[in-house]
Structures are given as C-alpha cells and as structure tokens.
Amino acid sequence: MTVPDAWYLGLSAVLFAIGIVGVIVRRNPLVIFMSIELALNAANLALVTFGARLGSPDGQALVFFVMAVAAAEVGVGLAIIVVIFRSRHRLSVDDLSLMRW
C-alpha cells in the first residue's frame, strides 16, 4: 500500500505556505532564513513527487541543484548575519533596513 501523490503534494503546499508566512511575518533574520529553507525543501518534495510520478530522474537532478543553491545561500547569509551581529549586538530586519553604507 503506497501513499498517494496528492498527499505528498498537499504536504509540500502546506510546508511552502508555512515558509512564506514565516518570511513575511517574522523579523529575525535567522528565522527568515529557516523559513526560506522550509519553502525550498517543500519545492524539493514536489519535484521528487513529480519525478517519481512521471518515472523520470529529472526531479531528483533538480533537487540536487536546489540543494546546492540553498547551501550557498545559507553560507553567505549566515556570514552576513554574523558580521552584522558582531557590529550591532542585535538582530532585526527593521534595523537592517536603516543601515547605510
């Protein structure tokens, strides 16, 4: 007995919605990054589901690409957050929007 594809896509949609709401509502950059990662993983789940449904390995190949982009995004984003936290001792997206270089 297998789980229907609609359940995987439904879970993917719910996770993606939670990620987008987290990006819009929260003000902490770390939580925003976690929400972006949640949305990317929801997209990965949908890609794998469609790939399995169509019997093609293209979905898995795209997932590896998305994971590589997400890893690069986390590396650069966390480095920026650490530098800002060391200089300001506080993290808030509202404060970051007021920064002028």
Q: Tens digit of pLDDT for each residue in 29-80?
A: 888 889 999 999 999 999 999 999 998 888 889 999 999 988 998 889 888 8
pLDDT, position 83: 81
| Whether pLDDT at 100 is above 60 | no
Check which CATH number belongs to the domain holding 57 and give it: 1.10.287.3510
| Residue-number span of the structural domain to which 35 is assigned | 5-97
Give the pLDDT of residue 21. 97
Residue type for position 37: E
What is the overall mean pLDDT for the chain?
Answer: 87
Number of domains in the chain: 1
**Residue 63: its pLDDT value, please?**
93
Looking at residue 22, its pLDDT comes to 94
Q: Is the dihedral of CA 58, 64, 66, 68 positive or negative?
A: negative
Q: Are 78 and 36 in contact (CB under 8 A)?
A: no
96 has pLDDT over 80: no
Dihedral sign (CA 92, 36, 78, 99): negative
**pTM of this structure:** 0.81
**CA dihedral sign of residues 29, 31, 34, 40:** negative
